[in-house]
Each structure stands twice: as structure tokens, then as C-alpha cells.
Amino acid sequence: AQSVAQPEDQVNVAEGNPLTVKCTYSVSGNPYLFWYVQYPNRGLQFLLKYITGDNLVKGSYGFEAEFNKSQTSFHLKKPSALVSDSALYFCAVRDPNSNYQLIWGAGTKLIIKP
Amino acid sequence: EAGVAQSPRYKIIEKRQSVAFWCNPISGHATLYWYQQILGQGPKLLIQFQNNGVVDDSQLPKDRFSAERLKGVDSTLKIQPAKLEDSAVYLCASSLVAGHEQFFGPGTRLTVL
């Protein structure tokens, strides 16, 4: 069965430090992977995607994600965290067997402390 | 480019009442989704439209929820009658092509008392 796992409910990082939010997936075929961010009382915002090509994908707000096929991971990263990055982050993978719907992770709350 | 529009932003109703949500997707986006999101959880797909046809409504509680997308543009989601457990944020999203990135509206926060 297709699935997405975000193993950490919450990640705490000091401002200015690098951050990583983890995501692993299980899907048949080549994965289409996505990261979204949700600020309080807001809808989800698309950050970046991996479809094919370079394993390091760059997205909005200075975020990037590294696709690792052997580890079936798609971790979200940023070299220097900002307090304004504090939000809920969701990883998703396209399900090729279900009308290309997205399978969503449970979300990781990122807290950046000044 | 205008984003996905949703209204209302907030709604408070009594249980057993009815409520309707409206969504206008990004122009040209053929695929439209309605999600239900419980606080702190990932979104749960309720229904997926391709143009004005339903692609998947397997997780829509059809005894109380209905949705339509007339003319393949804007869409409405209705709940009748509402239950306490329907309290959630209802998100509308659209994508140019199914399986590619989805763009979300701000959501409607529903509280059922």
C-alpha cells in the first residue's frame, strides 16, 4: 500500500541553525513527492516538488528537499532557520493507483526559537 | 494570478442544521478537490472533480454530504444535517492536472455546536 511517514510530530530548532523535517514514503513506480506548509488559520501552501531529475530540489522561502531513492526519503531542509518558518509541514506523495490523489503525512510542527 | 477563493471563512451552526461552502478554483484548473482537515492532522480527501465530473467520492459521507461542480468551474459542498464531528476546516484545492501540485484556498472553519 502507498504511504507517507513523518516520524517527528515536532521539531525544535534555534533561529539561524539548519533545519531538517523528515519524510519517508512507500509507493509503486516513480514517486511524485511534495512538501506543503500551513501557517495558523491558513490553507496549505505548496513549497516544492520532486518529479524527476536532480535529487536536490529548491523551493519557496529558501527551502530545499533531498530525494533519496535508496532510502525512500524526501527530507525538507533549510540552511538557516527563521522564526517565521514556524508552522506545520506536510509531506505528500502521489498515488498512481488512485486517480493520482495525494497521500498525506500526518504533519510535523516546526518550532523555531529566537 | 488569483488564487483559490473560498467562502465563508468561518461558520458556526447548531447540530442538525445545514451549511454550504463555496469554492472558486484557479482559472483553467481542471481538477478540484474538497478536503476535511481536523486540527493538527493532515487533510482528508472528500471528493475529487475533473471538470464537472466526479472522479472519486469514496470518502464522502453521502448520507449527509453532497458536492457539485456545475459548469466545471466553481463548486459547492453541502452538509445536511450537520453533526458535532463535522467540526473541522474544509479546504478546497485545484490543480492544472491531476497528480501535480495542488493549490489551496484559505479554508472554511466550521464549528458545530
* Per-domain boundaries in chain A: 3-108
Which run of H or of E encompasses A49? strand A44-50
B95 in any annotated domain: yes
* Cα–Cα distance measured from residue A22 to residue A71, given in angstroms and rounded to the nearest whole number: 12
What pLDDT is stored for residue A2 in this prediction? 86
pLDDT band at B99; cut points 50, 70, 90:
confident
Chain B residues with a Cβ under 8 Å from any Cβ in chain A? 4, 6, 33, 40-43, 45, 48, 55-56, 91, 93, 98-107, 109
The pLDDT tens digits of the residues spanning B22-54 come to 999 999 999 999 999 998 889 999 999 999 899
B84 in any annotated domain: yes
Does the pLDDT at position B72 exceed 90? no
Per 3-state DSSP, chain B is made up of helix, strand and coil in percentages (nearest 5) of 5, 50, 45
Which run of H or of E encompasses A109? strand A108-113
Cβ neighbours of B49 in A, within 8 Å:
none
Nearest to B106 among A42, A88, A90 (CB): A42
CATH number for B77: 2.60.40.10
For chain A, what is the radius of gyration of the CA atoms? 14
Range of the domain at B40: 5-101
B107 in any annotated domain: no
Cβ–Cβ below 8 Å for A94 and B99: yes
Q: What is the CATH number of domain A3-108?
A: 2.60.40.10
Cβ neighbours of A96 in B, within 8 Å:
99
Total domains present in chain B? 1
* Cα–Cα distance measured from residue A7 to residue A24, given in angstroms and rounded to the nearest whole number: 8
- For B71, phi then psi, to 5°, come to 65, 10
- For A59, phi then psi, to 5°, come to -135, -155
The pLDDT tens digits of the residues spanning A69-98 come to 999 999 999 999 999 999 999 999 999 888
Compute the nearest-CA separation of A79 from chain B (Å). Answer: 24
**What's the average model confidence in pLDDT over B67-85?**
94
The DSSP output letter for B86 is G
The pLDDT tens digits of the residues spanning A6-43 come to 999 999 999 999 999 999 999 988 899 999 999 987 88
